Structure 1
């Protein structure tokens, strides 16, 4: 009986002690918060101007570049004050003025006080310099966004530690020293970034220069690994990036973005989703609506000229798989041949351990004559182009479903089924060989 009655008694005592400790911790946290508010209003707010030099030194140390503050004032009309800074200037490592801010408003909250950062940083009409140097490193207002081990990433760490960062009516000058392209000036820039312990979301709206197109939107939503120490280590992030370009001149875009093509002409609308893994683009999807395209997809290829290109393109390339697909893709060749809005899906899985290389293909509504007409403009190997030119296929592939195991050029196993209407190829003579060979290909 004694053991039965004593066990609940010990459990109650332990629970009571734990409850008292939790209550003490809660009261202590509230007292610390109250003390912080008291110090802010009674000591820091009335004397904030006296701390300008110390704040410049701390900001320079935290961000990693020299910071100068013209003046600073505090507004204490609410429980947590806000701070207004005027004529804030950031210098790059060469002591050049990289950013001048006429007005900055920074607000705090219990959460930001606990993390020693700001709840919101609001900036009006800044003129910002964004530069990629010849080594490929990104610099924003003199702050290095690189995340190597030399400690240069303090600017990125500080930026992505702020709870909310807002820019209104800004001007951004983008300079890519690695390309030697002329600087790109974006006007009426609206930007917002929200950062959590592991999440980062951003949105940028801007108007490009005349001749580039219409106002565009860029968005991103990313997550960093659980045990990441540095907030600015974006090379470890996963997420999705999105771009909406209501009208864009792709020829102009090609000066600042790596395109696997030499674009002579391209005008229309684009929507692009990019999958990001470990800070690298692993795949994506693009909705296109282009009035005209004139591009070379290889150094030795003839220009590919298409009109009224619409549809969706998607692809993914990782170590585990390569995929490519089209949805409702339509276009018209200069000769008047029209692709009928076909769908295609291709997958290739490389060999892994004991699992052999394999692949699959599904397609419908493919015009073979239109494909043959543009084959010599696509980045195919010489043998494939020669075979297509010789066969001159025609007809409409209504449905094909194929899979294989082994190399694509010489599979060990394969199976295919499909339906083709109006199919025909040019006749081909049989090649003379010393061993039995396939018969000649008959024509119509």
Structure 2
């Protein structure tokens, strides 16, 4: 048996795709249910062609159906809902708790959402309504409610009794509140265990413990939890009333989702596109950015057309043009990737951007000198023309410098315009490096070769 969970998942996917009947799939899943990790069931459904999904879904244990339904992507969940009857959907939704309902609330039909809310008990419905007071971009919308809240007037002996009931994952602190529900401090469980039973909690808890505002931005809250070194941080409203907590697990999920969104945006993909989205849906999502790219390509072609006479007389220039464009595009993309990642992590400011620009220019200058000499030498051996070698060497050097400048400045400009640099930065950068590279290369060719 393979120890690697990824290898196990891959084998199960291969076996299901080659299976010829629902009975054969059921046999495969009998062993898979014992070998796959819990979070792999959603990945399994997403990785299967749409005509295989229902046969696999019906083999999932009830608990796995619930977890997979929440974990899977929006597009996959939407497709699964179309395959299931309303009664099957209602039965599934009736098992969800408030955290799970909040997570999928924006992604399921309203009739199903209403039923899921109806199935919550009174206390959970209140928590759901509390979450709806905040936008989906605010941390208050995504709180974890599996915490221990205790009164500041209790003794240690009373607090220790709560430990006998068991603690939820990521619990290392008790949250201490006054009679009005205001968070007055945090009590570490380790300190509680080491304290005398007759001691008042007011003498033990830390009143200056870190906390986050419920109205705060979600990504910033995720960073705060991760950097705090804590398993979770308490969340309060504007009046310091304790609302819930934000765990490190949720923080990492948020960061992962943001990274996935940036990757999709950089490739011009819709965030709700999955592996087996319909052909029409995938074509529509990608076609828009193909159109944008077409416009920029025609723009570059127009600049090339300005040198039509030069190209007719010096055919070697046309042969070497892809080299100039490729080197500039790759160099610029490398710089752009570093800068976009730095922006996403909050590492780039107005002050250090100039330093970054100088550094990237030095890197491009060094690479430009090295690779212009290499490409110039190859060109000389190929075409036996010293002047042509000089032309392409200079074009490569200048294009790498403009690529570095563009890679640093384009994300900064797009950021100021509230446009995601990961979404359109690559298209703009490629256009600039292509046009600049062609103009320099063909311009020098016109001056020196004709």
What TM-score results when the alignment is normalised by the length of structure 2?
Answer: 0.22
Max Rg structure:
1
Choose between structure 1 and 2: higher helix proportion.
2
Larger RCO, structures 1/2 (Cα 8 Å, 6+ apart): 2
Choose between structure 1 and 2: higher strand proportion.
1
